[in-house]
Structure 1
Amino acid sequence: MELIDIVEIIIKLVVGLSILNVWLVNRNKLTPWRGGNANSMQEEFAAYGLSINMMIIVGTLKCLFAVLLLISIIFSVTEYTGAIGIAVLMAGAIIMHLKINDPIKKSLPAGIFLILSLITLYI
């Protein structure tokens, strides 16, 4: 296994597990990255002017793409779908932060995951 393969696996683990952590473990916890003054995922989506149904759709898609990215460590056929899906959703997250005039630092995790997803596609 070459160094580039190891780096790609690490990127997939970091992005996939981090997204699952945010949506499945810390969804209702205060973090410095939440949009507006939100204390939970539901409050964050409300700050963006989005419904709970949209939160469920986005969360389901993010978890699906994260799992596909993790699966792609073994079965590369899921890599493109997982990485491009995460990249698109992270671009959307950045747009939502900008929409409500959040400080740039709140977009940092989404920006990092967007870049890492694009790197995965490039590798």
Structure 2
Amino acid sequence: MTFVGNAVQLAAALWILNVWILRFNKETDYRGGGAKNLPEEFDVYGFPSGTFYLVGAAKIILALLLIVGLWVDVLVTPSAGLLALLMVGA
């Protein structure tokens, strides 16, 4: 993959990790339904509490696989595809 492709792949993975690890409980005005943080947003939309943890774990694992995919190319397409499916659900 090209330098630009690797940079975009890494940036996407780090963005997801930032949201789900560092900022998941921080207040922001960019949440739907008047929610102030990520757990509240899941509550606002009526998802069971387990859904928050399941989606979060999946996104963290897939983001880490995208990073590993910088060295193991075969991981990139499935990881990116599953992340895309999760984002469509969002």
Look up the SS of the partner of 1:81 in the other structure. Answer: helix
TM-score, scaled relative to structure 2: 0.93
Matched, 1:35 2:22: no
Shift of 1:32: 3.1
C-alpha distance in structure 1 between counterparts of 2:7 and 2:29, whole Å: 24
1:8-87 maps to which residues of 2 (within 5 A)?
8-87=5-84
For the Cα contact (< 8 Å) 1:23–1:63, is it kept in 2? yes
Look up the SS of the partner of 2:33 in the other structure. Answer: coil
Q: Give the number of aligned pairs.
A: 90
C-alpha distance in structure 1 between counterparts of 2:79 and 2:30, whole Å: 23
For the Cα contact (< 8 Å) 1:20–1:63, is it kept in 2? yes
C-alpha distance in structure 2 between counterparts of 1:73 and 1:11, whole Å: 11
Shift of 1:84: 0.4
For the Cα contact (< 8 Å) 2:16–2:59, is it kept in 1? yes
Identity of aligned residues (%): 37
Shift of 1:31: 2.1
Shift of 1:30: 1.6
Runs of 4+ in structure 1 over 6 Å off: none
For the Cα contact (< 8 Å) 1:19–1:66, is it kept in 2? yes
Give the unaligned 5+ runs of structure 2.
none
TM-score, scaled relative to structure 1: 0.69
For the Cα contact (< 8 Å) 2:29–2:36, is it kept in 1? no
Name which of structure 1's ranges 26-35 and 70-79 shifts more when overlaid on structure 2: 26-35
Give the unaligned 5+ runs of structure 1.
94-123
From 89, 94, 97, the counterpart of 2:86: 89
C-alpha distance in structure 1 between counterparts of 2:14 and 2:39, whole Å: 21
C-alpha distance in structure 1 between counterparts of 2:34 and 2:54, whole Å: 22
